[in-house]
Amino acid sequence: MESKIWCLRLQRGGRGSGRVTIGHVIGGAVAKKLLNTLNIKVISHVSQVGTIKANPVNVNELETNINQNSVRCADLEAAERMEAEIIETKKVGDSIGGIVETVVLNSPAGLGDPVFGKLDAELAGGLMGIGSVKGVEIGLGFKSAELKGSQMNDEFLIEANTIKTRTNHSGGILGGITTGMPINIRMAVKPTPSISLTQKTVDTKSMESKDILIQGRHDPCICPRVTTVAEATVSIILADQLIRAGYIDPCKL
């Protein structure tokens, strides 16, 4: 019985479908309204499709540029190449992965917990919970493994009576709590598994190998869609932290 139910689930693909993220997006819409009251912005964009990488874009131009192309990439020249790559991939019945980046602007310092419930862990847990996300980096992430402490450390300075850091290699989070600098997150998004090419699978009744050709409409690259879900997820986690830290009073909502 259990195996039949499992097969049904696999056939429908419901639990792994992008449709389950509607809850993220609904919650995210409410969370974003709460963040707006504190002028906190959460912006997600596609920075890589396959091997095509976007050049960094000034944070003030992110939103305007993202909305100008279907890939949701802020580097408009790279966006054109990404779009062409996705179309070519679709033509041959295949799919392609990429990288989604999320930046949080104007977050206050001190959100998160230093040991249990570090903000890095909360964010990574939430974002890894989105189907297709196979890796999450904060700040320099995996690159930090190659560096010396003198290269990695962000030096503190005072600017307009505010404590800031000269660089932001930590991605806005140190010791599990926000520094007040922008929070920078990168997610590796795998290529969609439902491709239009014949693949090998197994028949669970006969326990034999067989061919499978998946029918229906499938996105060749879901990175643009993941931007929306990532933005919602980060907004929910931050709204929760802001309530816990007393920046938002849930009794006055």
Shortest distance in whole angstroms from residue 63 CB to ligand FMN: 20
Burial of 238 per CB tally in 10 Å (0-12, 13-18, 19+):
buried
Which residues of this protein are in contact with ligand FMN, per CB under 6 A? 16-18, 21, 130-132, 192-194, 218-219, 222, 225-226, 229
Shortest distance in whole angstroms from residue 126 CB to ligand FMN: 13
Shortest distance in whole angstroms from residue 135 CB to ligand FMN: 10
Query: Which helix H or strand E contains 75, and what residues bound it?
Result: none
Nearer to ligand FMN, 66 or 130 (CB): 130
Q: Which residue's Cβ lies closest to ligand FMN?
A: 131
Nearer to ligand FMN, 218 or 244 (CB): 218
- Name residue 247's amino acid: Y
Nearer to ligand FMN, 14 or 175 (CB): 14
Nearer to ligand FMN, 172 or 224 (CB): 224
Nearer to ligand FMN, 19 or 143 (CB): 19
- What SS3 class is residue 22? helix
Nearer to ligand FMN, 107 or 132 (CB): 132
Nearer to ligand FMN, 133 or 239 (CB): 133
Distance, CA of 234 to CA of 218 (rounded, Å) = 26
Distance, CA of 152 to CA of 244 (rounded, Å) = 30
Shortest distance in whole angstroms from residue 25 CB to ligand FMN: 9
Distance, CA of 184 to CA of 167 (rounded, Å) = 12
Shortest distance in whole angstroms from residue 185 CB to ligand FMN: 16
- For the chain, how many residues are written? 253
Shortest distance in whole angstroms from residue 118 CB to ligand FMN: 23
Q: Considering Cα of 192, then 70, then 47, then 117, what sign does the dihedral take?
A: negative
Contact 99, 187 (CB under 8 A): yes
Shortest distance in whole angstroms from residue 129 CB to ligand FMN: 9
Secondary structure string (H, E, C) spanning 198-245: CEEEEECCCCEEEEECCCCCCCCCCHHHHHHHHHHHHHHHHHHHHHHC
